[in-house]
A and B are shown apart, each in its own frame.
Chain A
Amino acid sequence: MKGTHLGELEELVLLTTAVLDGNAYTVTIANEIKLQSNRAITLSTVHTSLHRLEQKGFVKSEVGGTTKARGGRRKRLYVITKTGYEALQEAKELRSKMWDLMPKPGF
């Protein structure tokens, strides 16, 4: 497997996957990101991130049920894995550590 570095976008997608808990697939993730961060994001970007995350072992996926909106097509649901959760944790810890080290800015 390639490196297990977590990019900014990947972190966001992974977080959203965790937040959506069981109902995470490309469309819902994209909607959630738009809702939370007001950031326009395309489906393919999300899908590519999910693909990378899956390669890195941070999420796993399985084919889920159908909805009418999809014209009967099945969707692929993504769930965060233990390593994914740990990677998020690590990223968060790194940040808070850096925050603690930062002196109070003078502006």
Chain B
Amino acid sequence: MNIENSHPPKLADRILKWYCSHDYFEEVQGDLHEWFYQRVEEVGVKKARRYYYLDVVRYFRSFRLKNTYKLSNNSKFLYMKTLFKLTFRNLRRDGLSAFLRIGNLSLGIVVFLLTLVYARYELNYDTFHDNHERIYRMGHTLRGNPWAAGPTGLGAFLQSDMPEVDVATRVMPVQESWLKRGDVIFNEKNGQFVDESFFEVFKHQAIDGVLSEALKDIRSVVFTESMALKYFGDENPIGQTVEFGDERGKTRIVTAVIEDVPEQSHLQFDFLLPIMTFGERFTTRWRNWGTYNYAKLHADADLEALTKKVKQGYMDAYPNNDPSMLDTFVTPITDIHLKTNHEKELADNGNISYVYVLLSVGVFVLLISCINFVNLSVIKGLDRGKEVGLRKTIGASGRQVVVQFLGENLIVICLAALLSLIALAVLAPVFRNFSELNLPLNGLYNTDILWPVVILIIVLELICGAYPAVVLSRFKPANILKVGGKGALSNRRLGFLRKGLIVLQFGISLVLIVSSFLIYDQVSYIQNRDMGFEKDQVLVITLEDELRSGFASFRDKLNGISGVRSVSASSDVPGYRISIEPLEELDITRADDFSAPEIRGIMTDDEFATAYGLDILEGRDFRKGLPRGVTEYLLNEAGVKHVFEGRDPLGKRVVYRGDTGRIVGIVKDFNYKTIHSEVEPLVIGSRPRWNMASIRFDPQRTKEVLDGIADLSEELFPSLPAIETEFLSARFAQLYKAETKLKSLVWLFCLVSILLTMSGIFGVATYIARQKMREIAIRKVLGGSIASLFQLMSKSFVLLLIVSVLIALPSAYYLSGWWLQNFAYQVPIGLAGFVFSALGVFMLVLLSSGLVTLKAVRANPTEALKSD
């Protein structure tokens, strides 16, 4: 290889030339070339060329870069450097004020971003599906009562007869049952029967298998990733079989595995089965009103026409009924999570008013912190009149002063924003843990966080930077310097702004405090209210096939456990949604099928009233040991009103769910849902359906009872998963979880707002005290008492406070009234809460301003006056 002909790669040279500053280029390139030729002799041209690239890259150090060189000699860069230096010097000079400003703002931003992220999370349910704005759930109202689920045949009808519908799919919950694969067996309660077209409507990511083919075979099953892991571990589940308890151990073949359903979906499931398992006939009939019918519509679909045609479909299926009883509607799937709470809703949905409550609290806290920041920054800026005067004398132009102020403020604001982003990311696990939601709290990955922050920075910059900057830059330096940098600014107009902001701030904190009192009251009221039955001493077991068939012996064994007082089997239990059906009164003629009054019903045995401790007001409980085929009914007070409208119900013959029987008693209303709603009409029938078992136990012997049930489970079904029990009180706690969390969050944020308000007042008071130092000193010399001086100083705050109380209390009253509308049982809005919170804020303000004032008042007057 001829050395003369080999040369270093041109491209590498160009790269070097591109980044390397002129000062170093010639030397570095020369060195590299010399090194290269040396290498050529040692290892050959090819390798040497490769090494050459590496060497060029290795030379990439900041001091050799073109830009560093340019930058360090650029006047703007140098100016920035001084700006930063000056900013930090100023911050350090008055550390307390800097701490208050930055800390306040960061805290406010953190609270605001938290509520924002939470609200966005809740509001974005089901938006991950492609074309989610075109996906609807078909619903209907029966006598004005909205239902989420409809007849199974509706789905088939939508697909075949409605041109507006692109694709329709049905979803029908699978009964809780066990799944088994080899030795692995678990209870599964979260499966859905769906149409083959399910994945055309809802977007789910396939991990394995072809989704469009996955549900074609009626023996197929689609697993989520965690299910696949649970049953198959590391093995490939595709093509393998599982045994399914609900089908008496028949096997199903896994055809696809999808990613776990995103948390932000109202439609949660662990596995999917083809609805065609039931056959063509079942799935086209307009019966079995427990199916959820979803449809993806064409973009130009006319919703109104569609609902009319669907209603016609219902009418054709039920030709003998009064059309005014039934109506149809569509719900966009993105509205389901927060805006609907219909009959047979698939999930415990959220409540949009809570989202708004939290979001407004977040905005309020942010406002308070921004007001603090503006107040303190403006004060701080105007305090520097002397510095500006001096600068201008030396030759700074008005523009330079403006830039200086704007720059300083921008740095401080950005610092606060940065701190809050860091705090948010660091505290993310805590927030996630508390909310039990996987909130995206890292600003780096979530532009939803970054945008508001950027906007906030700009707005704050304009308000707190621009004002003092412009005001100060206009002043004649001589004027400022002459009067010592204080009197030069006519503080009056600014004072008005400041006072307005303080009033606003007091007002907002007051509203927050009053509201949190009220929310606290209301939530405790709900949680402690008497439900009308014993929820703390009842255990619930969901009964499956095996238990159902041998329930009598199971009950006897349960009764044998010491600590068990009563065992009852029923179709439904309080705390879960109880299905609603028409109650037909015999011996009375009604127009048609739909006109019989609808009423929720529990079908159960003669132990139910005992197990739940229900009060029988009139008549009697079910007779013990009723013969087969004889049914008796109990009605609650609301039910009597609803069905009999003032007539005496006792002894009347009624038909409910196909069983004819007499009404034998009236039970006192008990709240079997939550206290959000009033007690609804309820019928209790003596025809046990063994869906759930309720066990009334002795609270002193809870452990024995639980152990007894576990032993029983082991004894009866050694090969099946253990029987799962649930405390009814735990279920109700679950139902009130949203309120409980709201309560603690609102309290926390309320505390934050108090803290912010106090620190803001503290900052302003410090400033005023410093400004009035000489006035105080002179008054003191002339004989003013400490008390009178204190009064003088606090007067302005107290006046502002009174103004804000006058504004805030009515708004708080209005707001809380609005929030309380969500509840059927409302705690009265007490005057005490208002007076108490107003007084509380009063004390806090006096305390924070008083400390500063007192210090100023008690200072030695000579200290303040000696410099004059």
Contact = CB atoms under 8 A, between A and B. Distances in A.
5 contacts: A43-B35, A44-B55, A69-B33, A73-B26, A73-B29
B40 to A, nearest CB: 11
A70 B34 contact: yes
A5 interface: no
B34 A69 contact: yes
Contacts of B63: 48, 51
Contact of A74 (B27, B32, B38, B58): B27
Question: Which 7 pairs, one residue from A and one from B, show the smallest C-beta to C-beta distance?
Answer: A73-B30, A70-B30, A44-B58, A26-B31, A76-B27, A44-B59, A27-B34
Contacts, number: 53
B36 to A, nearest CB: 9
B492 to A, nearest CB: 53
Contacts of A76: 27
Contacts of B37: 69
Contacts of B59: 43-44, 47
Nearest to A63: B27
A34 to B, nearest CB: 10
A39 B63 CA distance: 25
A42 to B, nearest CB: 5
A70 B61 contact: no
Interface in A64-94: 67, 69-71, 73-76
A25 interface: yes
A21 B82 CA distance: 43
Interface in B212-251: none
Contacts of A63: 27
A16 B31 CA distance: 17
Contacts of A69: 33-34, 37
B735 interface: no
Interface string B19-31: 0000000111111
Interface in A33-72: 42-45, 47-48, 51, 63, 67, 69-71
Contact of B33 (A42, A73, A74): A73
Q: For chain A, which range describes its interface: under 10, 10 to 19, 20 to 34, or 35 or more residues?
A: 20 to 34
Contacts of A44: 55, 58-59, 61
Contacts of A73: 26-27, 29-30, 33
Contacts of B34: 27, 67, 69-70, 75
Contacts of B35: 27, 30, 43
Interface of B: 26-35, 37-38, 55, 58-59, 61, 63
A74 B26 contact: yes
Q: Most chain-B CB neighbours within 10 Å: which of A25, A47, A63?
A: A47
A57 to B, nearest CB: 16
A75 B58 contact: no
Contacts of A26: 27, 31
Contacts of B30: 70-71, 73-75
Contacts of B58: 42-45
Given A51-B63, A70-B33, 6 more contacts: A30-B35, A42-B55, A44-B59, A70-B34, A71-B33, A73-B33
Nearest to B32: A43
B31 A43 contact: yes
A44 B38 CA distance: 16
Contacts of B55: 42-44
A45 B57 CA distance: 12
Q: Most chain-B CB neighbours within 10 Å: which of A25, A67, A70?
A: A70
B648 to A, nearest CB: 100
Contacts of A43: 31-32, 35, 55, 58-59
Nearest to B51: A42
Contacts of A30: 35
Contacts of A67: 34
Contacts of A74: 26-27, 30
Contacts of B26: 73-74
B31 A47 contact: yes
